[in-house]
Structures are given as structure tokens and as C-alpha cells.
Amino acid sequence: MAMAARKGRTTASPHTSITTTAWPGSLDSWLSWIPLPKWALITVAVAGAILLLLFLICILKCCCSKKKPKKKERISLCAISNSTTTSLVQPEMEDLEREVEQKQRGKLQYSLEYNFRKQELKVGVKQAVELKAMDSGGTSDPYVIVYLTSDMKKRYETKVYRKTLNPIFNESFIFQVPQAEVSESTLVMQVYDFNPFAKHDIIGEVRLPLASVNLQHVIEQWSDLAVASKVEEEHLGEICFSLRYVPSTGKLTVLILEAKQLKRMDSHGLSDPFVKVHLILNRKKWKKKKTSVKKNTLSPYFNEVFVFEVPFSQIQNVDVVISVWDHDKVTKNEPIGKLFLGCRATGNQLRHWSDMLSNPRRPLAQWHILQPPEVVDKALGLKSPLKLPLHSR
């Protein structure tokens, strides 16, 4: 019966049909119709996927390359037609306009001659051409002011020429300038338009640093008038001194060494300088000392020492005022310039004071630029001395 059963399983009726488990729409049914082996079909599928990926990458690159020219057009100066945008992209256009404006102010012809024996600088104002019209009628009433930055009080003026843009001056002026100070001076020639009823308008100026000029020969040249610079502060000079403080003894040592390029205070172009050293405690004058007077010089050498007793408990409340004065026998002494050091100071003065405190017992020397006396006095804010009430008996 086992044999009969085994035979029954293996034989089939010729009328019975053989069925499969695969769906007619599945991947296997589709692959069964393709007369290729499986490994070949897998290879074709992978190649197709790679080709599709490359195709997508090409599309992305094309999109990016189309956007780039738009960015270039935005920053291209050739494609810009709007003046506002051009000024933002090209800020140097203002500089070009300023140059054009300067050229429209005209030119000035002048001459320079230095006499080494007499130590005199002769400045000749020759003529001007194509000056800027300042009046409503299209003309100007020009004249020229000439001075040196080393002595701004001494100024010369030419005559006024009416209703012309091409005046011929032909005037000369002489400045007393020591040879050692020539390279530190700047010649300024300013062309003004005269106005009888209002403030005179400046047309332009020429600034010539004498250090850039060879004064071995007579010089005659033309220069374009430039826009006048802002009002400059007068150079008062410089002073060099040393500070030393010893906390254990409470001794503050001030050594006045020298000064240079001081402002000319006398009619003959020199000064008689001396130095005052004031100590101010809690904004009240406390102690003072002064150097000897040096006659007829703008670069005096002192080398004088002053010692003050300042307790360590008070050093933070002390201001040291250094002032340079011009001595005069007939009239009152005039201040040339001042500066002060202390915890309330600023800039180089504060740095010098801080270095002194951080290096006890060590003298520290430094150069300082003198400032206008009124500016220093205002910064100090000195209090008036206390007045003791008088008791009547």
C-alpha cells in the first residue's frame, strides 16, 4: 500500500493541470519573459541607476550655472545705470568730485628765497589765475594772507583787487626763521574774497612744508589752490621732564630738563622762557617752584630739580601742573603753555604718571606737548582758596 500511495503521488492524470504560486503581475513573472540570466539583469539595473543619477547631477549644475550670471550682473559696474547704486559701489566718486572742486578754485604763483646769513625767508606772492567766482556777478575781490605755522601771530596781507579772477599781486614778505627751525615750519598762503559787509570767504589755500623744499636756490612755481583746512591749533612747543616718587619717604622729584619749538612771544621773534611747577591738592593750589629764566631762546635747557614732600596717602589726590612762561621786565609775564599730570589726567600725561607710580624710586623722563593755558585751567577746575572769616574783637 505504501508503494501504491507513492505511485499515486507521482502520477497524475493527463487531464489535470499544473499550477504555479507566482502572481502573473509580479517581478518574477516579468523576468521570466526576458531571455537573460539574472546577473545580466542586475547589471543592467545598476547601470541604469547610475545613468539616472548622473542625469540629475547635470540638471542641478545647469540650474546653478544659470543663477551665477544674475549675481554677476548685480555687481557689474557696466550694468549699473542708477547713480545711487553707483555711489554705493564706488565710494571713491566723492574723492573725484573733490578733486574737480579743488581744480576749480584756481592756481597761485609764488616764490621762495632763504637768506642763510640773515636767516630770513622771503616769500613772493606773484599772481593767481582762474580763481573761483565768489560774487553773484561772476567775479571775486581777492587778496592773500601769508603766514608760517611756527609763528601764526605774524601774518601778512596783500592788497585787495576788485572784480577779477586773475589778480597780479607782485608783493613780497620777509619772515625771520632760524635755520634750525626751517624744516619744522609750514608756509600757508590763503586766498580770500573781500566782502565789505560780511565775513570774508576763503577761496582756497596752498600749504607748503618747508622741509620738502630745497632752499639752496630761489624757487618760483605754481600750485593749485586746495580746500582750506580746518582751523589749526597753534603749536606752543614741547617740554621734557622727569618724575620720580619714593613712597617710603613721600618725596616727589620733578626734574625740568629742556624745552623746544616754543611759541615766539617777543617782537624780535624769540622768548625769555622759564618753567613753573605747581602742586595742586584736592583741586586747590598747594605748593609751587620755578626755574631760572633763559634769555632769547625758543629751545631752552634747564636741568633743574625740585623736590616736594607728598605723603603716600595724598599722592592719589595730587595734580602736578607744568607751565612755561615768557619773562617780561616791563609788562606782566605771559604763559606760553601748560599741561598737568595726575590721576585725573589723560593721554600721555596719565601714562607718564602711571609709569611713575608703578616704578617707585626710578626716574622716568618723557616729552610732552604744551596745551593752551585756558584749556588746562578748565580741565583742572580749580577751586577758589578758602577765605577764613575775620572775628571782630
Number of other residues whose CB lies within 10 A of the CB of residue 381: 8
H helix runs in 136-240, sequence order: 179-182
Q: Which residue has the cell 580746518?
A: 230
DSSP H or E segment with residue 252 = strand 251-260
Lowest mean pLDDT among 35-49, 198-212, 311-325: 35-49
- Residues 219, 127, single domain; the answer is yes
CB-CB contact of 213 with 185 (8 Å) = no
- 13 lies in a domain? no
Per the model's pLDDT, the better-predicted residue between 29 and 244 turns out to be 244
Q: What is the pLDDT of residue 194?
A: 87
Give the mean pLDDT of the chain: 79
Q: Which of 184, 199, 225 is the last residue of a domain?
A: 225
Q: Which of 155, 190, 225 is the last residue of a domain?
A: 225
Q: What is the pLDDT of residue 263?
A: 86
- Residues 173, 284, single domain; the answer is no
The total number of structural domains that make up the chain: 2
- Residues 288, 170, single domain; the answer is no
Per the model's pLDDT, the better-predicted residue between 389 and 104 turns out to be 104
Number of helices and strands in the chain (H, E) = 8, 16
- Residues 248, 364, single domain; the answer is yes
> Residue 108 and residue 126: Cα distance in Å, rounded?
8
DSSP H or E segment with residue 321 = strand 318-326
Lowest mean pLDDT among 131-145, 195-209, 238-252: 195-209
CA 164 to chain centre: 38
- Residues 149, 284, single domain; the answer is no
The CATH code of the domain that includes 208 is 2.60.40.150
- Residues 220, 256, single domain; the answer is no
- Residues 195, 307, single domain; the answer is no
Write the DSSP symbol of residue 331: S
Q: Which of 193, 225, 257 is the last residue of a domain?
A: 225
- Residues 220, 252, single domain; the answer is no
- 116 lies in a domain? yes
> Residue 364 and residue 345: Cα distance in Å, rounded?
17
- 162 lies in a domain? yes
> Residue 296 and residue 269: Cα distance in Å, rounded?
9
- Residues 172, 247, single domain; the answer is no
What backbone phi and psi angles, to 5 degrees, belong to 264? Answer: -75, 125
- Residues 374, 256, single domain; the answer is yes
Q: 373 is written with which cell numbers? A: 593755558
Q: What separation in angstroms does the CA of 223 have from each of 106, 183, 205? A: 9, 20, 9
Write the DSSP symbol of residue 211: G
Domain limits at 204? 104-225
- 370 lies in a domain? yes
- Residues 287, 203, single domain; the answer is no
Provide the β-strand partners of residue 238: 260, 369
Q: What is the pLDDT of residue 248?
A: 92
Per the model's pLDDT, the better-predicted residue between 48 and 362 turns out to be 362
- 62 lies in a domain? no
Reported as a pLDDT band with limits 50, 70 and 90, residue 126 is very high
51-82 tens-digit pLDDT: 888 888 878 776 665 444 444 333 333 333 34
Mean pLDDT of 102-131: 90
Q: Which of 10-19, 143-152, 249-258, 380-389 holds the top average pLDDT?
A: 249-258
> Residue 322 and residue 315: Cα distance in Å, rounded?
17
DSSP H or E segment with residue 144 = strand 142-148
Lowest mean pLDDT among 83-97, 111-125, 130-144, 300-314: 83-97
- 88 lies in a domain? no
- Residues 218, 285, single domain; the answer is no
- 347 lies in a domain? yes
Write the DSSP symbol of residue 390: P
Lowest mean pLDDT among 90-94, 103-107, 196-200, 215-219: 90-94
